[in-house]
Amino acid sequence: MVEFDDIGPEKILQVYDPKTGMKGITVIDNTVRGPAKGGIRMTPTVDVDEVARLARAMTLKCALMELPFGGGKSGIIADGKNIDPKKKEEIVKAFANALKQFCPDIYVAAPDMYMGEKEMDLFAKTNGDMKSITGKSKELGGLPHELGSTGFGVHLAALVGLEHLGIDVKGATVAIEGFGNVGWFAAKFMAEKGAKLIAVSDSKGVIYNPNGLNFEVLDKVKKEERTVTAYKDGKIISVDELLALDADVLITAAVPDLFDHSHVEKMKFKLIVQGSNIPTSPEVEEELHKKGVLVIPDFVANAGGVISSYVEYIEGTEKEMFFMVEEKIVKNTKIVLSRAKKESIKPRDAAFKIAKERIKNESKAG
């Protein structure tokens, strides 16, 4: 059941097109700071509650990163992974038509699960306004995800976290869960800074070497063999074993609900950076906080994607995007960690407080 409070949601839209069978949901959580920003996912199980929770996360993320956006999210109820391509096009066009009156004035969409660049282009053309959506192709003024804005931001949050703990990045041991668009870039940038990658996972398993994994070789193996487990100089371990490794840093970069209460006792990480969304619950974060583990929450660490979206929205360049991601992630991660330390609270609580204060202050100013 959707919870309403003094922040939102402002609107819950449920749309249907009888011709294509398209069923969609959009939640406009808050527009105090600007039009609601958030992606469209296409899954058979997406529902109003899921979309509302994700929309709230976007409200907080945009406020925390001081972007002139509110928060929103959309879901199309369909099997985006296995759907016939022609049928998918029809459904995306129907959804774009249904939201025409709202985009881009109060909602600016973006890609999410099973919705990529091609669908973003189709949405923009159907809507008739290039500002109605971000994540478009370069030909339509987009900043492609291949630039790695989210992973770049995650690695910056990790650097701030290490500095906060007084740990030198050179030689710091890092385990990364996920080697996709976020984890690949996080691994690349951390390795370039001198960190030692000791474990990396993908959907096939985990490769581990306490003496370090060579990123260039790992990348080559992944591209050729389609799995990191084909890396020769390492041992294949389970995800549970990865979570119990003796490493300085864990970067989560793929699946939600990665770990729970049962893992906490065995975890030896000094820093956990949430590159993925909701890799665990706030209750588990509280246990880790009491144990002395610094956890940088998802809507702080993985905000590089929405910052990149904003740069695309204002028709900025790739160079401007990297500059803004670095400026905002570094500055606001430091603010969050400083507030958490000062008030003896976990970083997630500090980040929530800061984001809500910025929303309230904008509301009063308006």
Pairing status of strand 271-274 against strand 249-252: parallel
Q: Kindly report the backbone phi and psi dihedral angles of residue 84, in degrees, each rounded to the nearest multiple of 5, phi listed first.
A: -60, 130
* Alpha carbons 177 and 180: distance in angstroms, whole number: 9
H or E element that contains 311:
helix 304-313
Distances (CA, A) of 302 to 156, 297, 361: 10, 8, 24
73, 88, 196, 346: the catalytic one is 73
- For the question of residue 342 being annotated catalytic, the response is no
Q: Are 115 and 91 in contact (CB under 8 A)?
A: no
* Alpha carbons 298 and 304: distance in angstroms, whole number: 11
Q: What is the torsion angle, in degrees rounded to the nearest 10, for the CA atoms of residue 48, residue 54, residue 58 and residue 59?
A: 50
- Please say whether the dihedral angle defined by the alpha carbons of residues 337, 341, 347 and 353, taken in this order, is positive or negative: negative
SS3 310: helix
* Alpha carbons 276 and 12: distance in angstroms, whole number: 26
Residue 9, preceding peptide bond in cis (omega within 30° of 0): yes
CA 208: distance to chain centroid? 25
- The length of the chain is 366
- End-to-end CA gap in the chain: 30
**The pair of three-digit structure tokens given for residue 105, joined into one six-digit string:** 């004035």
* Alpha carbons 26 and 15: distance in angstroms, whole number: 8
CA 260: distance to chain centroid? 20
Report the b/e string of 8-26 with b at 16+ CB within 10 A.
Answer: bbbbbbebebeebebbbbb
Residue with tokens 């369909």: 78
Positions annotated as catalytic residues are 73
